[in-house]
Amino acid sequence: MQLFLSNGLFYKCSLLFLQLDPVFELKVEEKDVLLEALQQPWQVQEKVMETDISALQRVEDLEQRVIASDLLLKPYTIPDPDSTRDDLQYYEHDADPRDDWIVRTKKEWSGLPRIATHPLDLAVLRLANLERNIERRYLKEPLWNPAEVMRLAPLTPTPGEDLESEITSRLRTWRQALDRCRSAPQLCLCLLQLEKAIAWERSVTKVTCQVCRKGDNDECLLLCDGCDRGCHMYCLKPKITQVPEGDWFCPTCDDCDSQRSSKKRTRVKKRRYEDDSSEDEIITRRSGGMATRHKETAAPSSSSRYSGEGGGTKRRRMTTRNQPDLTFCEIILMEMEAHADAWPFLEPVNPRLVPGYRRIIKNPMDFLTMRERLYCSCEEFAADAQLVFNNCELFNEDTSEVGMAGHSMRRFFESRWAEFYSNKDK
């Protein structure tokens, strides 16, 4: 107790000495300015207006960063800045109790009227338009996960808006939150979430050296053909004095390729061993303990893995488990394999020939893999076919040769699917 009282007395004495310190003395001019500022009323609308304009400027800065990184769709162009307009006015949205997130029966869209002269409303509209025009291949979690993509977006589009073909549940929640923004802090939260979900590292302008973490000396910066990351020639060990001809892979990709090749050799040996051990004759043991060989017999119409006539090359048939519906799937697959634009999808993609493919495409699929799979329903077959075209659209540009082939094959598959299965539903 005595120690506590002594400490309190020391604190009071220190406060008395602080008042005598000339550092804490206000000059006459400063006192007048402070008193004048205290006498003036607090201008709430002006401060809120400044905050809204600042939020609008942040959205415009994000637009410039996205377009500088070349992450937007080709036809889209950034509109003129709105933060420098002279006709901006303050507007306050009234709170709607039915639009609360804890209410289970909340509306899907808030229906807020967006004013063309309100900086916050302009920022909301520009941010929503920016998100819709970013290529999906440049989005990542938490807003975009290819495994959670849903076909035919469940969101009801607003009047005059096209229906999207793909969306995720998290992106839908983000759009609903952006639609309900009534203040600058709410808008900034949505802005930060979108900024975090953009894959900036895939941009060409974002390449830095893996060793020194710097992006200077572009003439000495080598880009890896496997992971699209860079490294200075003088940062490598040993150093490289000249730009190598052909493809160049960073040390990380070289290590991964060596490990992958060793695993591939192990899998090949194991597969050969299994093929040698699985003969056409099966050894079964009788009760007496003697082993006898019985030839495996099966009906050619149900268990034959190959089809064809004569002694020429035989074509492997897709296993259908004797379901009539899957027969149409096999016909569609044969027609797709014979299509003129099917050449990129006939076999699995070689990651060595196509650098960075496995880093972007997590679930590869092709026509050969579909033919070797065992399908239980036609819906599984359609899902794999759509996966082939979705992977092509995600990895390739729409104007490239492979991208145009993917769009052509998607249209062909959807037309043939409708011809076979629409009549069946009727």
Domain of residue 383, CATH code: 1.20.920.10
| Entry pTM | 0.46
User: Which residue in 336, 340, 308 sits closest to 415, CA to CA?
Assistant: 336
* Residues 54 and 193 grouped into a single domain: yes
* Residues 82 and 185 grouped into a single domain: yes
Whether 64 is in a domain gets the answer yes
Q: Is the separation of the CB atoms in 311 and 326 below 8 Å?
A: no
* Residues 224 and 348 grouped into a single domain: no
* Residues 186 and 247 grouped into a single domain: no
End-to-end CA distance of the chain: 92
Which DSSP state fits 278? S
Residue 372 has pLDDT above 50, yes or no: yes
Instruction: Supply the pLDDT for residue 303.
Output: 36
Whether 36 is in a domain gets the answer no
Whether 102 is in a domain gets the answer no
* Residues 141 and 241 grouped into a single domain: no
Binned at pLDDT 50, 70 and 90, residue 389 comes out as very high
Whether 300 is in a domain gets the answer no
Binned at pLDDT 50, 70 and 90, residue 200 comes out as confident
* Residues 178 and 249 grouped into a single domain: no
Instruction: Supply the pLDDT for residue 396.
Output: 87
Instruction: Supply the pLDDT for residue 197.
Output: 93
User: What is the share, in percent, of the chain residues with pLDDT greater than 70?
Assistant: 65
Q: What is the tally of structural domains in the chain?
A: 3
Say how far residue 48 (Cα) sits from the centre of its chain. 35
Binned at pLDDT 50, 70 and 90, residue 413 comes out as very high
* Residues 190 and 234 grouped into a single domain: no
pLDDT in tens, 340-363: 899 889 989 888 777 788 888 889
* Residues 140 and 192 grouped into a single domain: yes
Q: Which two tokens stand for residue 56?
A: 């609008």
pLDDT in tens, 203-241: 766 667 777 767 677 778 887 776 667 788 888 878 888
Of 200, 230, 265, the one marking the end of a domain is 200
User: What is the share, in percent, of the chain residues with pLDDT greater than 90?
Assistant: 23
Q: Where does residue 84 rank: exposed (0-12), middle (13-18), buried (19+ CB within 10 A)?
A: exposed
| Amino acid symbol at 285 | R
pLDDT in tens, 5-62: 566 666 666 655 555 555 555 565 666 777 776 777 767 888 889 999 999 999 999 9
Whether 16 is in a domain gets the answer no
* Residues 185 and 239 grouped into a single domain: no
* Residues 55 and 194 grouped into a single domain: yes
Instruction: Give the least confident one: 105-114, 125-134, 329-338.
Output: 105-114
Instruction: Supply the pLDDT for residue 196.
Output: 93
Whether 275 is in a domain gets the answer no
- Listed in sequence order, the residues at least 6 apart from 372 whose beta carbon sits closer than 8 Å to its beta carbon are 316, 318
Highest mean pLDDT among 1-15, 96-110, 327-341: 327-341
* Residues 131 and 228 grouped into a single domain: no
* 281 bridge partner residues: 295
Instruction: Supply the pLDDT for residue 287.
Output: 37
Whether 418 is in a domain gets the answer yes
User: Which residue in 234, 112, 127, 262 sits closest to 190, CA to CA?
Assistant: 127
pLDDT in tens, 245-298: 777 888 777 766 655 555 555 554 445 444 444 444 433 333 333 333 333 333
Phi-psi group of 155: left, alpha or beta (phi > 0 → left; psi -120 to 50 → alpha; rest → beta): beta
Cα–Cα distance for residue pair 59/161, rounded to 1 Å:
22
Q: Which residue has the higher pLDDT, 91 or 292?
A: 91
Domain of residue 242, CATH code: 3.30.40.10
| Orientation of helix 119-132 relative to helix 184-196, angle to 10° | 20
Instruction: Supply the pLDDT for residue 174.
Output: 93
| Amino acid symbol at 48 | V
pLDDT in tens, 289-314: 333 333 333 333 333 333 333 333 33
Which sign, positive or negative, has the C-alpha torsion 287, 288, 291, 295? negative
pLDDT in tens, 135-192: 888 888 888 887 787 754 444 444 444 445 678 888 988 998 999 899 999 999 999 9
Whether 383 is in a domain gets the answer yes
* Residues 168 and 244 grouped into a single domain: no
Phi-psi group of 391: left, alpha or beta (phi > 0 → left; psi -120 to 50 → alpha; rest → beta): alpha
Its domain, for residue 364, covers 315-426
User: Which residue in 246, 260, 252 sits closest to 210, CA to CA?
Assistant: 252
Instruction: Supply the pLDDT for residue 98.
Output: 66
